[in-house]
Amino acid sequence: MLDRKIAYISKGLPKSSLFNGQEFVSGIWKEQVDTLVVRPVKIDEDDVANPAYHGGPDRVVCVYPYEHYAHWEKQFGQALAGAAFGENLTVLNMREDQVCIGDVYQIGETILQVSQGRYPCATINKRNNNNRLLKGVVEMGYTGYFLRVLQEGTISSDSTITQLSAHPQQITVAEIHHLYFHDNSPDPKTLERMLSVEELALPWRKKLLEKQQRA
């Protein structure tokens, strides 16, 4: 049985910064805190800069596995800052290959469901001042993922994580990422299995349908 734990929790509002001399505004900057107050659509005092591509009820809580930080430190020869991927929960034993779309967890007072993997974008490079990070994230599938809120409440830095249910289809976040980004000849039955998961958020459902049409 996996010993799932919170390493730390973080939140933050959008702010302006510079990358290669150009200004950008993003909500990726998070600061470690003691508690998160999680609402159905967003976390208090936490927000996104571009709601067309970020946030919403299927992307309320961003999760990133703590184990990946050691990989990036080894690859780039320097440590990343905490919450370097803009995540709210930095966790242990909940990697992308260990969680499935539709799995339900109780974390503190909240009940949360895995809704989709993260579709990585160049803001990750800008946040960490590293032009190679995004490519590595896509190659490795170390993207993190999002949770939707089934029951609002407070998460503390010492809250426990309990899995309440495992989705019967057992489609991991890692499997969907690999198929979309790296499988040029996807198995039709595998695609159908993924698309049959009703809990998969609409943006990723559209991506898989596009992949299916191109196959």
68 closest CA partner among 13, 31, 120: 120
Residue 204 falls inside a structural domain: no
pLDDT reported for residue 93: 98
Specify if 69 maps to a domain: yes
Torsion of Cα atoms, 84 then 90 then 93 then 98, to 10°: -70
Q: Does 134 map to a domain?
A: yes
At residue 3, the pLDDT reads: 95
206 in any annotated domain:
no
Cα–Cα–Cα angle for 59, 62, 66, rounded to 5 degrees: 160
Helix axes 188-195, 173-182, angle to 10 degrees: 130
Q: What is the pLDDT of residue 156?
A: 98
Domain count, the chain: 1
Q: Which domain holds residue 94?
A: 5-167
Mean pLDDT of each 10-residue bin along the chain, 215 residues long: 94 89 88 98 91 85 98 95 97 98 98 97 93 96 98 98 98 97 93 96 96 85
Cα–Cα distance for residue pair 2/62, rounded to 1 Å: 20
Domain assignment present for residue 193? The answer is no
Q: What is the pTM of this model?
A: 0.96
Whole-number pLDDT of residue 50: 77
Nearest alpha carbon to residue 155 among 57, 3, 64, 38: 38
Cβ-contact 147, 112 below 8 angstroms: yes
**201: in domain:** no
In 34-152, beta strands by DSSP E: 35-38, 61-65, 89-92, 104-107, 110-117, 145-151
Alpha carbon of residue 19 to chain centroid: 23
Among 113, 141, 120, which Cα is nearest to 198's? 113
According to the model, what pLDDT value does residue 44 have? Answer: 98
Q: Is residue 189 part of a domain?
A: no
The answer as to whether 140 is a domain residue is yes
Is residue 61 classed as helix, strand or coil in its secondary structure?
Answer: strand
CA distance 194 to 172: 9
Alpha carbon 71 to its chain centroid, in Å, reads: 17
d(C-alpha 18, C-alpha 25), whole Å: 9
Q: What is the CATH number of the domain that holds 120?
A: 2.40.33.20
State how far the Cα of 134 lies from the Cα of 142, in Å rounded to an integer.
10
